[in-house]
Chains A and B, each alone.
Chain A
């Protein structure tokens, strides 16, 4: 039974300087290179703040959403012959938020040349990649090619696993899949457990990666048992939304003790209390990570950094 470190679970906000440059680039008054140069600086700060983290991320600041880099580069996604960013699907609201993504269309078999992810990520020691989980992948894409959705997500997993070798060369050792559709579908009474593909992570794990899955804004007690015989190494529990008393799993967990949607910075005591509360109420393997319940995209860069730093500090005091 042990504490395994802190982990981020999703993309992080950009700094005010980078935002200014991004806007100038959009308006035709700066270049993509200038924008990416500042992204690199922000990433360095984010990485520096993740002292004591089990896995480290640069925040994936240049990913405009979790699907677009894949839709641009993997085979199988429709690419329209239009200028700019609009070649891979309509602007679509990201669940119940004020953020948006482009909903890609799958028109052929999904596959990869093995380098696409590494090309879209910086070098990071003990790196972790944020990607969309299989259930949410089904929900957020338009598919006109596959008749079997399980086959579609296993091809998605295979394409990702083909990237493992090049990711390893850049220092990556882990992937965390985000499954925001669980919370959204539960709220809308639209949850479909037949869409869960338990062996989704198999081809990735076989290549030596640690694989986690996070369920932001969802009461994990309502479905966590469905993942006991899955291939995931750890399961992310949202501490704001979950009923700890009804959580029963034999897996390791990631306790999302920091709230990515609130501006207030959690104190070390608050985080420790959440962990204590979880340990006293939930049944699990005993091994746990701590982290943010969702991406750090809904708080500004500076507050995001502060939340990361407090996770780092409290990690020194947990066992």
Chain B
């Protein structure tokens, strides 16, 4: 139980997918102009992540090593399609405002990275808990970004007017540069908290292999 709890908490700050492993960045800034979009994307990604990790973990001993990537991709694409159709059916407005970022969950490195690094080697329970932890770690960052951007950029939260009428919205925060700025400041805050949490302990390396070259990449090039 304690071990599962450790796996769960890991995704929140210590190995937060967005701030530390730095994967799945695209959707995090694009959809966070409003809090509702942020929550929607967070839930959608968590669904795909947990289901893919569950399935891959169940079949981890049957999947041949050499063709594991295509198999992972197809499993993830299947769940993304399910999620996409569900969203179109039940939340058409949300689905429309997130646009291309829903199908892009397929290549969201969080899903691919966790499936490859975690659930293809770990038992089912751990994988599901890891999926939940990573999903919630992703969702809280989206909500944190969206709260700042919607409040300052539009004066509202979840569509309700929060700021007094005299407040003139700073459109900058809704626009792309505002997204980069807010993300950068949140990341600095979270990384400093992590440094304090890990004070004295040496953090494990958390580089992923899906967006950067492996260490021996440059040697291979020469």
Do A and B truly interact? no
- Interfacial residues, chain A to chain B (CB-CB below 8 A): none
What is B's interface to A at a CB cutoff of 8 Å? none
